[in-house]
Structure 1
Amino acid sequence: MSKEEFEFIGKKIFKNRVELARLLNKNIREYTKEHSEKFTLLESESLNYRSQLIGYFGEALYKNEKEVFKSVGKWAKDVANLTIRYGISLTQILRVISLFRPVIWEIFTEELEQNRFSCNTIVEIASRFDKLIDSVFRITGEVHDQHYNELKKSASIELEELSVPVVPISSGIAVLPVIGSVDYDRAKRIMEVSLNEAIRLKLNYFIIDFSGVSIMDSIVANSLFQIAKTLQLIGVEIIITGVRPSIAHVINRSGLDFNPKIINSSLENALSDLGFKQVSTV
């Protein structure tokens, strides 16, 4: 095999990149119709991106390999981000990328039929294309994975915020209704939110209602004790309401010395003690 052979077929691919992209678009339309999948990219937009990649396949045979791989890497990142913006799944885009191979192979088949190049030359060229395709697969997958992880992290943060909802009642008074089980991580989150919101809202009284909590261990009970002590240090009076007998037993068994004044039987009673009265609608 010679450099001239590589350059000949590489430039032929580059010269015909737009026509090959049109053929690819046709194949994709047939493929997506068969699989009942729709792609929202405009025809002109998809033609431009696909012809670019086909052009890089051609340049890989007669230009600096590192530079071509760099261009292909940028192309893969741009297209992967574009597919995310258009709501195209990773599975869909990988299926489309896989269709580049048969289109490129049409040129190979033509050259083989005309006996212009040896089989060894075609195999070597195919090997280079496979490396480029593999890099596109890898980079596209990495971009989609990163996007998925960011979404998951964002959803986790939103869920955490929803799990610790501080509700202002009036000037200087707020309630934190805790629902569900409380583990160490959530207790830590409760402490962080309690301190931040107590300062932000300039609270005098902070009520934490545990009537919706079913499970709490001694470690979490200790965290609760620390929340009370810390808030008291910054001048906030903490009131704990809705403590179930099972949770009271855990607190007792832990030997924690809670001030009786900060524990109330119910949220209603605590608000009543603070001057809130039920208004009759009759």
Structure 2
Amino acid sequence: MISANIDLQSFKKMVMQGSYKTQDSASFRGGPSDLTVWREKLIEIYANSLTLSPEKSEAEVKDWGKEFANKLVELGLPLDTALKEMRTAKNEISHIIKEEANRQNLSANDFFKVYSTFDYVVDRAAELVSACYMKAHDEKISSAQHAVDELSIPVVKIEEGIGILPVIGDIDTRRAQLLMVTALEKSAEFKLEYLILDLSGVPVIDTMVAQQIFEVLEALRISGVTSKISGIRPELAITMTQLGVNFEVQSFSSLHQAIASIKI
């Protein structure tokens, strides 16, 4: 317990007043002005740590840390910039606490108790901001990757009952799963009878890729959609023959040939 003779409210008042006077020097260099509210809230949390219970201080830090981290990610600001800001604020407030401790003639033991409370909240703030920042950043990257995946596997309806699914780039397990979901969902949405998988943009077909494509074709067959494959280049045909790959559906070297075969 902190000694009863310590005027914690006076500590808090000094922290608030002193920090607001010096916060311009600790601002985000080139950062948006709307971060001011989060900076002011940080100062308030640091000051409150001197008078609130550890539980209440922890709750304040958690709420602020999550909101602040999300704002950093939204604005595209790096985590180290935020941590540097927090360290700067800590150093300035540490000097303010030291001055107030001298004014109150605190013993070394009482000063240690006051500072330890403040220091714990500072460490927790940095820890929580870091954790929340990484989580928000990962979610943003994941969302962007999902959007890219959807754009990279489009189903194009060229006329009634006929669609094309151009596949571009390498096919791994994740993309293969998305390929299957997209093919099935769009085939049902467009009421397709035929779906042509154009593989002209796939650089390599090995046994793993072949298995992934076979599973997509099988799922389409079960759902009542007739599949065809186009874009089989000579080098792919040779590789597939050497590997013994057989998709058991009609294959064509060009998309034009595949479409023409449906209209015969």
Calculate the TM-score normalised by the size of structure 1.
Answer: 0.80
Does 2:264 align with 1:272? no
Residue matched to 1:55: 47
Residue matched to 2:235: 246
Are the counterparts in 2 of residues 187 and 224 from structure 1 also a CA contact under 8 Å? Answer: yes
Residue matched to 1:165: 154
Are the counterparts in 2 of residues 84 and 144 from structure 1 also a CA contact under 8 Å? Answer: yes
- Distance in structure 1 (CA, Å) of the matches to 2:241 and 2:209: 13
Q: Kindly tell me: are residues 97 and 259 of structure 1, through their superposed partners in 2, closer, same or farther at Cα, counting changes over 3 Å? A: closer
Does 2:172 align with 1:180? no
CA offsets 1:149-208 (integer angstroms, 9 cap, x no match): 101111221222122121111111111112233344433332222122211111111111
AA partner of residue 259 (structure 2): L
Q: Kindly tell me: are residues 132 and 77 of structure 1, through their superposed partners in 2, closer, same or farther at Cα, counting changes over 3 Å? A: same
- Distance in structure 1 (CA, Å) of the matches to 2:101 and 2:222: 84
Counting only pairs closer than 5 Å after superposition, residues 149-228 of structure 1 correspond to structure 2 as: 149-228=138-217
Are the counterparts in 2 of residues 18 and 47 from structure 1 also a CA contact under 8 Å? Answer: no
Are the counterparts in 2 of residues 232 and 238 from structure 1 also a CA contact under 8 Å? Answer: yes
Higher relative contact order (CA 8 A, sep 6+): 2
CA offsets 1:58-79 (integer angstroms, 9 cap, x no match): 21xxx43222322333233333
Unmatched 5+ stretches in structure 1: 277-282
Are the counterparts in 2 of residues 13 and 54 from structure 1 also a CA contact under 8 Å? Answer: no
Question: Which of the two has higher C-alpha Rg?
Answer: 1
- The partner residue of 1:19 within 17, 20, 41 is 17
Calculate the TM-score normalised by the size of structure 2.
Answer: 0.85
Residue matched to 1:41: 34
Q: Kindly tell me: are residues 65 and 234 of structure 1, through their superposed partners in 2, closer, same or farther at Cα, counting changes over 3 Å? A: closer
Aligned residue for 2:198, secondary structure, equals strand
- Distance in structure 1 (CA, Å) of the matches to 2:184 and 2:132: 37
Aligned residue for 1:116, secondary structure, equals coil
Report % sequence identity.
Answer: 26
Deviates more, 1:266-275 or 1:209-218: 266-275
Are the counterparts in 2 of residues 205 and 236 from structure 1 also a CA contact under 8 Å? Answer: yes
Deviates more, 1:74-83 or 1:187-196: 74-83
Unmatched 5+ stretches in structure 2: none
